[in-house]
Structure 1
Amino acid sequence: MKKIGLLPRLIIGILGGIFVGFLLPEWIGNILYTFTHIFGEFLGYIVPLIIISFIVPGIADLGQKAGRLLAGTAGLAYLSTISAGIIAFFISIMVIPTIITSGAVSEASASGLSPIIELEIPAIMGVMTALITAFIFGLGINYIRHEHSHTLLFRGMNEFREIIILVINKIIIPFLPLHIAGIFADMAASGEAFHILGVFGQVFVLIVLMHVGYIVLQYSLASLRTGMNPFKAIKNMIPAYFTALGTMSSAATIPVTYRSALRNNVSEETADFVIPLSATIHLAGSTITLVACSVAVLIIGDQTPQFADFLPFILLLGITMVAAPGVPGGAVMAALGLLSSILGFTEAQTGLMIALYMAQDGFGTACNITGDGAIALIVDSFVSKRKKNAQQNA
């Protein structure tokens, strides 16, 4: 029997939760919401560990790369990621208020169900503590590997990352639909569920349009450097786009992305380096999604999104999501801590973010890896120019 995918299970969870909240006795809804409460506590506990396990190996692994080429590629990827987030914020802040009524879901009314028991699972450390710890260990391991070739701690951190990925794949992802079901059961009990679903649909369309627009922008900028027709370059990346759409993993799409980049006349030397690295650090599509969803969730809750709050959120997103693309849904998992610590998201708002992000994860990933091709084009143009200058000076 074919395994049901995550998106169908999320849809089943949403509909099942609405059914429980609307039609079944309240005590059944309270049982379901008890699981949601405990699972939410577990998510809060695991978030700092996700941050450390993703960031440390991601930064440490950069020690294997060539210095100038690494700096240029990483700089372009990070600039693209944060630019995508900033553009998404201003588009969202202009468009979303026209399709969503501010305060349509208030905190006061979002408490239709109550957990039967409450269980607190404190995190080992705070989110910012986890970020600083990850930077220190990531940079430290990077230095040790480069200077002394010691790899024991690096291997240990990679094994730690594998453990956290195992937790995500075997616990968080399988039980996520039930968690979402509890959230929507609570909303159904308080009469908010159908409005939220209507909002989700409109925001989803906006996000996909922003993805497409940003892809065109990236290749238009790349064409200024390379002279290649941007739409021809995008056409050559279509196989990678649809592969990512289906796999929801930038890492799993690397072979197809690599072949697509070669079709755009990127040299093998550049593609060998840029494509795998960009699959790890270039997350423009994921950032667009997270920013737009965050704006929508805040407006729904009668809060006014402020750029002063979103700028540090966007800047840190580009770092916390390092190495997350290897895990379907990894970007939103890595962002959970920032949502609560910087944007002040509640447990219910975090649940809404997870549901909306997971529903379009494939589109965000497809935008990520399609943009990797534009990064490769730009980097290859610099590499080719440097080789040409070296030959002329020889």
Structure 2
Amino acid sequence: MFLQSLFAAYFRGNLVRQILIGLVLGIAFGLFLPQAAQNSAIIGTFFTGALKAVAPVLVFVLIVSAIAQHQSGTKVHIKPILFLYILGTFAAALVAVLASFAFPTTLTLTESQVTQNAPAGIAQVLRTLFLNLIDNPVNAILSANYIGILSWAILLGLGLRHANDGTKSVLSDAAQAVTNVVRWVIRLAPFGIFSLVAATIATTGLGELRAYGQLVLVLVGSMLVVALVLNPLIVFLKIRRNPYPLVIRCLVESGVTAFFTRSSAANVPVNLLLCKKLGLHEDTYSVSIPLGATINMAGAAITISVLTLAAVHTLNIPVDLPTALLLSILATIGACGASGVPGGSLLLIPMACSLFGISNDVAAQVITVGFIISVVQDSCETALNSSTDVLFTAAADLAASEQQADSRKAVV
């Protein structure tokens, strides 16, 4: 009876507050009991793995159900969201380029090996994106290929538009069942974050970051400028009112979880739940959120730009304004092809470095530097990427709703 009451009290509690408590306890545990903290990493691995496992199924079922039951005349607002995604990513790349010139950073490059296969160029990135559209649907779900999941879910949803009410009811029930599973997984977040933080503090500490302090500051500073200045400005221009309540809520309820899971894909269920709490249209966010986890990559554009220009400064390569602008465009397109998993953006650095004639051997060393600072870089990057998915979806949805309300008033 006592345990039942304890569980009930936990599930009724404020999730954000519980996550913050887990964060503080995780830091203390990692500092004072490092050995035990490393052994506790299995809890964080379980939490992150559960999110990654349920996210593809959730996205597929939600999109099929939403499109199949879509009523004619119901508005969805994907086009303005896509515009905000691309605009935000490109503007973030520009911020990173400006910051890199304002605070030029150099690296200590040494011999190193990187085993991952990095894209050879922008053509390969675009080719991969195109091929992902026609991936086998089962394989797309198994490999969390959200472009493939989106394409198949949209096609199946359209094919089921004229299905009978019984079929649509089954789809709706399936979507609700998977959503309930997601809620249960998300309630594990305080324990997962406690474990992830404790293991990270115990294993890495902050020693390795001191050697690259300025690089970390340029990266994180650029991301903060985008999150707290640039994104609010874009949202204000869209909704014409104070954007900060929405910005802060997205950062707290989406960004905090994404910071520790370090995966946009794993944070998709969290974002879908937040969109529902914000009262957004399910037909819209069930598509825009998984799409954002794939192509809305402001943080990735910053990482690609800053680390590439750090290599440029190290090698004393002159950069003119047109080339810097071209880098921003290249980083934007490349970021859209970045994987929604930890470290995905780092593997696109050789592509950007090739713009300046930097060899793959040197670019591989830059990637290694990225992995050294990834405990901060990748966490901040993912928090920015994922929270912006909800932010721009909400901004477009709110703007469209206000336009519809104004139109009704004008008619009256």
Structure 1 length normalisation: TM-score? 0.58
Residues 1-394 of structure 1 mapped to structure 2, 5 A cutoff? 1-3=39-41, 69-96=77-104, 127-131=121-125, 133-134=127-128, 137=131, 153-155=134-136, 162=143, 200-217=212-229, 218-237=231-250, 238-262=252-276, 264=278, 266-322=280-336, 324-333=338-347, 335-346=348-359, 347-356=361-370, 358-359=374-375, 360-388=377-405, 391=408
Moved more, 349-358 or 277-286: 349-358
Query: Could you tell me whether the CA contact under 8 Å between 2:268 and 2:293 is conserved in 1?
Result: yes
Unaligned runs of 5+ in 1: 7-60, 116-120, 142-152, 166-193
Structure 2 length normalisation: TM-score? 0.56
Deviation at 1:242, TM superposition (A): 1.3
The residue type equivalent to 2:400 in the other structure is V
Q: For residues 352 and 128 of structure 1, do their structure 2 counterparts lie closer, same or farther at Cα, with a shift above 3 Å needed?
A: closer
The residue type equivalent to 1:295 in the other structure is L
Q: Give the distance between the partners of 1:160 and 1:274, measured in 2 at CA.
A: 17
Query: Could you tell me whether the CA contact under 8 Å between 2:308 and 2:349 is conserved in 1?
Result: no
Q: For residues 340 and 283 of structure 1, do their structure 2 counterparts lie closer, same or farther at Cα, with a shift above 3 Å needed?
A: same
Summarize deviations over 1:108-159 as a string: whole Å, max 9, x none. xx57x9x9xxxxx9x9995355246446656xx5xxxxxxxxxxx4317955
Query: Could you tell me whether the CA contact under 8 Å between 1:241 and 1:370 is conserved in 2?
Result: yes
Q: Give the distance between the partners of 1:163 and 1:74, measured in 2 at CA.
A: 21
Deviation at 1:391, TM superposition (A): 4.8
Q: Give the distance between the partners of 2:213 and 2:384, measured in 1 at CA.
A: 19
Query: Could you tell me whether the CA contact under 8 Å between 2:95 and 2:222 is conserved in 1?
Result: no
Q: For residues 136 and 324 of structure 1, do their structure 2 counterparts lie closer, same or farther at Cα, with a shift above 3 Å needed?
A: closer
Q: Give the distance between the partners of 1:298 and 1:5, measured in 2 at CA.
A: 41
Q: Give the distance between the partners of 2:406 and 2:269, measured in 1 at CA.
A: 31
Q: Give the distance between the partners of 1:269 and 1:161, measured in 2 at CA.
A: 24
Q: Give the distance between the partners of 2:144 and 2:265, measured in 1 at CA.
A: 18
Report SS of the residue matched to 1:324.
coil
Deviation at 1:252, TM superposition (A): 1.0
Q: Give the distance between the partners of 2:80 and 2:287, measured in 1 at CA.
A: 12
The residue type equivalent to 2:340 in the other structure is G
Unaligned runs of 5+ in 2: 1-38, 45-62, 147-206
Q: Give the distance between the partners of 1:261 and 1:163, measured in 2 at CA.
A: 21
Query: Could you tell me whether the CA contact under 8 Å between 2:307 and 2:349 is conserved in 1?
Result: no
Query: Could you tell me whether the CA contact under 8 Å between 2:119 and 2:350 is conserved in 1?
Result: no
Q: Give the distance between the partners of 1:3 and 1:288, measured in 2 at CA.
A: 29
Q: Give the distance between the partners of 1:89 and 1:354, measured in 2 at CA.
A: 21
Summarize deviations over 1:39-95 as a string: whole Å, max 9, x none. xxxxxxxxxxxxxxxxxxxxxx9xx98998333222210111011101210121012
Q: Give the distance between the partners of 2:276 and 2:144, measured in 1 at CA.
A: 35
Query: Could you tell me whether the CA contact under 8 Å between 2:93 and 2:331 is conserved in 1?
Result: no
Q: Give the distance between the partners of 1:201 and 1:210, measured in 2 at CA.
A: 14
Deviation at 1:3, TM superposition (A): 4.8
Query: Could you tell me whether the CA contact under 8 Å between 2:304 and 2:331 is conserved in 1?
Result: no
Q: Give the distance between the partners of 1:207 and 1:200, measured in 2 at CA.
A: 11
The residue type equivalent to 1:90 in the other structure is L
Summarize deviations over 1:292-333 as a string: whole Å, max 9, x none. 122222212322344433433332333333363422111222
Deviation at 1:163, TM superposition (A): 10
Query: Could you tell me whether the CA contact under 8 Å between 1:246 and 1:362 is conserved in 2?
Result: yes
Q: Give the distance between the partners of 1:124 and 1:80, measured in 2 at CA.
A: 25
Query: Could you tell me whether the CA contact under 8 Å between 1:297 and 1:353 is conserved in 2?
Result: no
Deviation at 1:161, TM superposition (A): 9.4
Query: Could you tell me whether the CA contact under 8 Å between 2:346 and 2:370 is conserved in 1?
Result: no
Query: Could you tell me whether the CA contact under 8 Å between 1:84 and 1:284 is conserved in 2?
Result: yes
The residue type equivalent to 2:213 in the other structure is G
Q: Give the distance between the partners of 2:144 and 2:287, measured in 1 at CA.
A: 27
* Partner of residue 20, structure 1: none
Q: Give the distance between the partners of 1:349 and 1:367, measured in 2 at CA.
A: 25
* Partner of residue 183, structure 1: none
Query: Could you tell me whether the CA contact under 8 Å between 1:233 and 1:264 is conserved in 2?
Result: no
Q: Give the distance between the partners of 1:124 and 1:300, measured in 2 at CA.
A: 22
Q: Give the distance between the partners of 1:5 and 1:201, measured in 2 at CA.
A: 30
**Identical-residue share of aligned pairs (%):** 20
- After the TM superposition, which parts of structure 1 deviate over 6 Å for at least 4 consecutive aligned residues? 64-68
Query: Could you tell me whether the CA contact under 8 Å between 1:236 and 1:263 is conserved in 2?
Result: no
